[in-house]
Amino acid sequence: MRKFNDFEVIPLRAFKDNYIWTLRNDRHAVVVDPGDAQPALDYLQREGLALAAILATHHHADHVGGVAALLERHPAPVYGPRGEPIPTLTHAVGDGDEVLIPEFDLRFRVLGIPGHTRAHIAYYGANSVFCGDTLFACGCGRVFEGTPEQMYASLSKLAALPDETLVYCGHEYTLANIEFARAVEPDNAELQGYAVSDAQKRKENRPTLPTTIGREKKTNPFLRCLQPAVVDSANKYLAARASSPAQIFAAIRNWKNEF
């Protein structure tokens, strides 16, 4: 939770480990990836807020499954990726488009970040990026519909945002991700630190998110495919020498799937 201009970003929990990130000011809310309507309906009612917009990052049910039920009570524009099967969309958007939220005097730039799904997008604005299941704290999403090359390019695009950018991911996967990241980079001191501080946050039932692009560049193996320690670990896993950063990415992504 934080203040920026005149709004806060609230994590609403859904299912086992999803977050429905909710921007709110005194009168309005914008919800990102409402996989389940109920937490958002409850929050809007309790706080007396009108829904200004729904933003979807990709078509998976745990991100858009609640949109229809939310719209029944709160008609609002629904933004989401052009080229994915989301029947509730009113505004299909893609890389380079802008999403204006007048109730928040806010403008998001849409970033095309395919790989987890074919047309996955992120919303970047107000020093924040809402990136669904592409970038996680210390990890990344599985490559379901794209290629490792696409996913690596998408992660590199996010890594190029300013270091101070707040990263709002779709899931609370951080502790398990840190465990894997430490297997890839056993000598990364920053990782040791976050292993302790994030475990404490979870013990207190607090989110470990948002993270920042700066933190991810120091700790996330999937953004560190040029670091010698990550290259060595990937080559050991492959029992061969990877010939490109995308191959190193693919190797550690496969390793993580088995971890």
Tell me which residues are annotated as active site: 58, 60, 62-63, 116, 133, 171
| Cβ at position 81, least distance to Zn ion in Å | 12
The answer to whether 171 contacts Zn ion (rule: CB under 5 A) is no
Do residues 83 and 93 touch, judged by C-beta distance below 8 A?
Answer: no
The rounded distance, in Å, linking the Cα atoms of 185 and 88 is 42
Residue 29 pairs with which residues in a beta bridge? 24, 51
Phi-psi region of 88 (alpha: psi -120 to 50; beta: other; left: phi over 0): alpha
Tell me the two tokens of residue 179.
């465990």
Choose one: 30-38, 54-62, 176-184, 214-222; the region binding Zn ion (CB under 5 A): 54-62
| Cβ at position 116, least distance to Zn ion in Å | 6
Q: What is the enclosing helix (H) or strand (E) of 123?
A: strand 121-125
Kind of pairing between the strands at 98-101 and 166-169: unpaired
Q: What is the enclosing helix (H) or strand (E) of 252?
A: helix 245-258
Count of residues in contact with Zn ion, rule CB under 5 A: 2
> 20 or 242, CB closer to Zn ion?
20
Choose one: 5-13, 97-105, 133-141, 148-156; the region binding Zn ion (CB under 5 A): 133-141
The rounded distance, in Å, linking the Cα atoms of 183 and 174 is 14
> 65 or 214, CB closer to Zn ion?
65
The rounded distance, in Å, linking the Cα atoms of 229 and 58 is 33
Q: How many CA atoms lie within 13 A of 209 on its CB side?
A: 30
Choose one: 68-76, 105-113, 131-139, 240-248; the region binding Zn ion (CB under 5 A): 131-139
Do residues 114 and 147 touch, judged by C-beta distance below 8 A?
Answer: no
Does residue 236 sit in helix, strand or coil? helix
> 57 or 188, CB closer to Zn ion?
57
| Cβ at position 134, least distance to Zn ion in Å | 9
| Cβ at position 123, least distance to Zn ion in Å | 15
Choose one: 58-66, 88-96, 145-153, 211-219; the region binding Zn ion (CB under 5 A): 58-66
> 60 or 74, CB closer to Zn ion?
60
| Residue from 33, 133, 185, 198 binding Zn ion (CB under 5 A) | 133
| Cβ at position 226, least distance to Zn ion in Å | 27
| Residue from 24, 28, 60, 171 binding Zn ion (CB under 5 A) | 60
Question: Which positions touch Zn ion (CB under 5 A)?
Answer: 60, 133
